[in-house]
Amino acid sequence: MRARAVETARRVAMGALERLGREAERLVGRLPPVVETMALRGSTAASAPPFAPAPPPIVIERATASRRPAPEEPSAREQRVEATASEPSSRLELVPPLEPSSETPTVAVMLALHLRAHLEPRLTALRHGATWAQAQEPEQALRKLRVATRRLRAFARVFAPVIGDRQARKLDKRLRVITRAAGPRREWDAILASLRREHERASEAIARAALEHVMVWAEEQREATTRRMDDVLDGKDLPGLAQAIDAALDRVCGRMLALGHDPSAQVEAWLEPPLARAVARMPTLAPEADVEVWHDVRKRAKQVRYALELVGPALDESGKTLRKRAKAIQRMLGEHRDLAVLVRLLHAQRQQLVEAGLPTLAGGLQTTEGGLIQRLRRIATTVQLDGLEPDLRGRLHARADEFRSALPEPPRLATPKKA
């Protein structure tokens, strides 16, 4: 009785398996054409010993499927490439990698790339300008913001014909507001840095005490200018301004790429107006000239340098020489101005201490002031001024060598005579 029941159950199970197999064959016959790829490792299931790990499954890829196959080992991938090499052309083929181009980029391409790389850090500094106080080094962040506004103003002036004169003037005006707002705070940063250096150099205790008194006063002045600057920056949409300049930069880069292989003639035409304004009516320098006159020449040299650095790849040798000369003038006259401003400030503070009945502290400042005056006179008397008086007669053109003749020679320190 039990044996008959077992035999009946076996027959029922075998019939069910046969029906399941026929149904599976029918469903497979309805499937679209497929690309079958065997990925076998080691022995097959038929020859595998008992309890051996099951072989990896057969990977079936559909040519119309969007699902990506499971990742495989490099060796299996190589087997698949070899197995599919003899398949019909309807199968997907491997695309060979592109060979690197040996063509040298044109000057226009190099100029567009240079312009984007040159101004992108300045745009970043402008976007985050309102949060300069939260930076790890606030003084450096503020310095970068002010330098960024100056260089972006140079960009608007040089490429005004591309951006549009009205839009360029609008951008320049918005940037000028930020430059002027940050100027007083940056001046006090420079003054405090000079006072700290002099404090470290001072050997007398009374001189150090007097400088500390001035440093406290300078800190108060800086805080006052900081509040005024923040009021201005808070009312300005610096990210929006950066976005507008970025759009103008894209337009200029597009024009650069459309210039062809040699954009030198067009670049010279763009440089002519800003360089002419920078060197026009340049004052005459002399050792007895006021410090603001020297500073005016320094600002003009900075304008020339910023304009030329925008188009670095398009400059010839004379243009590169002009850029180096402008940079040398800027640095030398910058040292002259820092000393002159510090002398003027210490002199005023010394007079106030005398009027306040603090002659001891005033005497400490007099020692430091005397040392600074000697250094300032040394610079003014040892700088060779030959060539610092430019001849601005006649019409200035866009050629770099003509602008170079209009800009003064960089100051050179005279060689001291041996005793």
Per-residue pLDDT averaged across 93-122, rounded?
A: 71
Per-residue pLDDT averaged across 38-62, rounded?
A: 42
Name the residue type at position 411: P
Segment 4-49, tens digit of pLDDT: 555 655 665 566 556 656 665 665 555 444 333 333 334 334 444 4
Q: DSSP label at 134?
A: G
Per-residue pLDDT averaged across 85-110, rounded?
A: 53
Which of 102 and 361 is assigned the larger pLDDT?
361
Position 175 pLDDT exceeds 90: yes
Position 124 pLDDT exceeds 90: yes
Percent of the chain with pLDDT over 70: 64
DSSP string, 21-83: HHHHHHHHHHSPP-EEE----SS-TTTPPTTPPPPPPPEEE-TT--SPPPP--HHHHHHHHHH
Name the residue type at position 352: Q
Q: DSSP label at 87?
A: S
> Cβ distance 273 to 309 under 8 Å?
no
SS3 272: helix
The pLDDT of residue 364 is 87
The pLDDT of residue 1 is 52
Position 149 pLDDT exceeds 90: yes
Segment 226-255, tens digit of pLDDT: 999 999 988 889 999 999 999 999 999 988
SS3 106: coil
The pLDDT of residue 91 is 41
Residue 84 CA to residue 88 CA, distance in Å, equals 9
From 45-49, 116-120, 130-134, 274-278, the region with the lowest mean pLDDT: 45-49
The torsion region of residue 113 among left (phi > 0), alpha (psi -120 to 50) and beta comes to alpha
SS3 145: helix
Which of the residue ranges 106-110, 155-159, 206-210, 310-314 has the most confident prediction, judged by mean pLDDT?
155-159
Segment 210-224, tens digit of pLDDT: 999 999 999 999 999
Predicted confidence band of residue 372 (pLDDT cuts 50, 70, 90): confident
Percent of the chain with pLDDT over 90: 31
Segment 63-81, tens digit of pLDDT: 444 444 455 554 554 454 4
| Mean per-residue pLDDT over the chain, rounded | 74
Which of 205 and 33 is assigned the larger pLDDT?
205
Name the residue type at position 274: P
> Cβ distance 279 to 304 under 8 Å?
yes
The pLDDT of residue 281 is 78
Segment 293-336, tens digit of pLDDT: 878 888 888 999 999 999 988 888 878 888 888 888 888 788 88
Position 353 pLDDT exceeds 60: yes
Q: pTM score, two decimals?
A: 0.66
> Cβ distance 91 to 35 under 8 Å?
yes
The tokens describing 143, both together, are 């310095």
Distances (CA, A) of 99 to 93, 102, 105, 106, 140: 18, 9, 16, 19, 44
Burial class of residue 107 in the structure, from the number of CB atoms within 10 Å of its CB (0-12 exposed, 13-18 middle, 19+ buried) = buried
Per-residue pLDDT averaged across 97-111, rounded?
A: 63
The pLDDT of residue 397 is 33
Position 261 pLDDT exceeds 50: yes
Burial class of residue 17 in the structure, from the number of CB atoms within 10 Å of its CB (0-12 exposed, 13-18 middle, 19+ buried) = exposed
